[in-house]
Amino acid sequence: MSSLSTQPEFSPRQNAVLDSALRLLVDGGERALTTAGVARAANCSKESLYKWFGDRDGILSAMIGYQASKVRTLEERAETLTGESLRAHLVVFARDLLDVLSGDVSLALNRLAIGQASRDGSHLGQMLQERGRRQIGKRAGGLLDAGRRAGLLRFDNGEEAYGVLYGLIVTDLHLRMLLGEDVKPTQQDFSRRAERAVDAFLDLYGTKRQTAKP
């Protein structure tokens, strides 16, 4: 509920427990993430788990919140934006996005949230959206707005433009990774993919290399 401001979060000890839990989840999937297993891996008692996090769902929520707090997106302020620097910033953003989405922990948490999506309450998916995509989407939105203000981009709907950028970068790679396909992402592959995507995006929304529209 209180996702903004400085919510108390958790103590260092509790964060260490959440780290163990994340590791457990990454290694063995949700089936391996039992309360007894977490307690054993973290050298704490189940009673403490329930005291700190309430119930199993509380542990899962805390794991998502903790992980999100670790990968906080860095707000980069682009002072003077030229065509080249905009492209460079977009490429960096694309690479960061690919790196985050392909990370072990991100994949495991997304699998977890998706698996629980059908359950009734299940705020996990919403949390992941709020803490993950929203943040990185805001970063991209700022970048796109700056590009538009600098006269380098042209679009009406910022959300739609971001959607196109996202689609060009990720395509179906994320889903394939979520399904367990052993995609071997060389850093070089990601760089190439990021550049191609950004070039295509600039072809669609850029004002510079756009020659004319009949």
Partner DNA sequence: GAAGAACCGTACCGTACGGTACTAACCTGG
Partner DNA sequence: CCAGGTTAGTACCGTACGGTACGGTTCTTC
- Residues near DNA, by CB under 7 A: 13, 31, 33-36, 39, 43-48, 50-51, 55-56
The smaller minimum CB distance to DNA, of residues 36 and 74, is found at 36
Q: Is there binding between residue 169 and a second copy (CB under 8 A)?
A: yes
Choose which of 28, 54, 58, 151 interacts with a second copy (CB under 8 A).
28
- The answer to whether residue 163 forms part of the interface with a second copy (CB under 8 A) is yes
Q: Which of 18, 125, 131, 198 binds a second copy (CB under 8 A)?
A: 125
Distance CA 99, CA 67 (A): 15
CA proximity to 39, closest of 106, 51, 174, 166: 51
Residue 7 CB, shortest distance to DNA, in Å, is 19
Please give the single-letter amino acid code of residue 64: I
CA–CA separation, 122 vs 66, rounded Å? 18
Please tell me whether residue 85 binds a second copy under the rule CB under 8 A: no
Instruction: Encode 22-42: b = buried (16+ Cβ within 10 Å), e = exposed.
Output: bbbbbeeeeeebeeebbbebb
Structure tokens at 142: 């700022």
- Compute the distance between CA of residue 136 and CA of residue 139 in angstroms, rounded to an integer: 5
Residue type, 168: L
Under the binding rule (CB under 8 A), the answer on residue 111 touching a second copy is yes
Q: What residues line the site for a second copy (CB under 8 A)?
A: 28-31, 108, 110-111, 113-115, 117-119, 122, 125-126, 128-129, 133, 160, 163-164, 166-172, 174-176, 178-181, 196, 200, 203-204, 209, 211-214
